[in-house]
Structure 1
Amino acid sequence: MTETETATLAGGCFWCIEAAFKELDGVESVTSGYAGGHVENPSYREVCSGSTGHAEVVQVEYDPATVAYEDLLEVFFRIHDPTTKDRQGPDVGSQYRSAVYYHDDEQKAVVERFVHNLQEGGDFDSYENDEIVTEIEPLDTFYEAEEKHQDYYDKNPGDRYCQFHAEPKVKKVREQFGDRAATQ
């Protein structure tokens, strides 16, 4: 049995982020949920109200022998806009913020270095706001989202939201990270 590690990431609607990460080789599972808030065991409706302080997140369980944490960060920062505060596409509110919830000091150091290098590299100079606003916080508690939100893109490929917002992220992963794509 391979020993896995976990990354917890927030970059807008979890349906979209989940679908994109499932494309990568070495990703064992992706679970949609909530983190960063102050209410125990929140519901989707409560999180969407913006009153719980949670972000929609995904927990990515991965095999570090196949895909590095840095690789996950590279994909993450390419499939969402880390320069907009509390907004991704049509989704507005703190629940859609850009955030990395680290699991240990090593992940914290890696993500801080990664963001610093991205910022210094000018990768986002063409964006309206060229400053990366991604929050980097320790993971306190992860709450798994309701079952209907798990594998949402796979279960609802005809959903218009998925077609307009999740599918482009999936295509971006396939095009830009095809060398790391899971065999389907």
Structure 2
Amino acid sequence: MELATFGNGCFWCTEAIFQDLDGVEKVVSGYAGGHVEDPTYKQVCSGTTGHAEVLQITYDPQKISYDELLEVFWQTHDPTTLNRQGNDVGTQYRSVIFYHNQEQQQLAEKYKQELDASGAFDNPIVTFIEPLPTFYAAEDYHQNYFNQNGYQPYCSFVIRPKVDKFRKVFKHKLKPELSGR
């Protein structure tokens, strides 16, 4: 198993997406990139800790590659908005890839350069690519949030459409029980 750590907006929204991928064994919502030790959600939301909401993804590289995870990362959020995703505003919602080794760094930087050069987005990509500092798991009530709280308004109106779109676009990469294989 290997690890990938991404910040692409609200971790409630993005956790649900990565959990669906075949080869992803575990997704933990958490915080990284700040200067406060063992921060709380309330502290991170204040925007004063420097942390981003992130996902730490445990995956089987025999089933899904880091490149494939990057593809999902880039296509499921807007990497051109600085410190914001939709109505979520603040440095805690920044687009960031925290790499675990030099290979991940090189792949992330290459993908970012190629995407920028391709003109896939109208604006330049502002995603940060940084070495992973300490990762802090978020409080238990943030884990598996969408799957446990899908009936709540935020989940119904914000997360569900994102997950539904993702499942259509990435049908071939979903876990067998989700893709009908």
Band the TM-score falls in, shorter-chain normalisation: over 0.9
Give me the CA root mean square deviation: 0.7
8 Å CA contact 1:23, 1:173 repeated in 2: no
Q: Which runs of 5+ in 2 are unaligned?
A: none
**Aligned partner of 2:125 among 126, 132, 143:** 132
Alpha-carbon deviation of 1:159?
A: 1.2
Give the TM-score taking structure 2 as reference length. Answer: 0.96
Residues in 2 aligned to 1:76 and 1:167: alpha-carbon distance in whole angstroms: 17
Matched residue, 1:36:
33
Alpha-carbon deviation of 1:109?
A: 0.2
Residues in 1 aligned to 2:90 and 2:124: alpha-carbon distance in whole angstroms: 19
Matched residue, 1:161:
154
Q: Which amino acid aligns with 1:77?
A: W
| SS of equivalent to 1:174 | helix
Matched residue, 2:120:
123
**Aligned partner of 2:145 among 138, 147, 152:** 152
Residues 45-103 of structure 1 deviation map (CA, whole Å, 9 limit, x = unaligned):
00000010000000111000110101111111111100000000110000000000000
Residue 71 in structure 1 maps to residue 68 in structure 2:
yes
Give the TM-score taking structure 1 as reference length. Answer: 0.94
| SS of equivalent to 2:176 | coil
**Aligned partner of 1:105 among 82, 102, 106:** 102
Number of matched pairs: 177
Structure-to-structure mapping, 1:41-60, within 5 angstroms: 41-60=38-57
Residues in 2 aligned to 1:38 and 1:45: alpha-carbon distance in whole angstroms: 15
Over the matched positions of the two proteins, sequence identity in percent amounts to 55
8 Å CA contact 1:13, 1:56 repeated in 2: yes
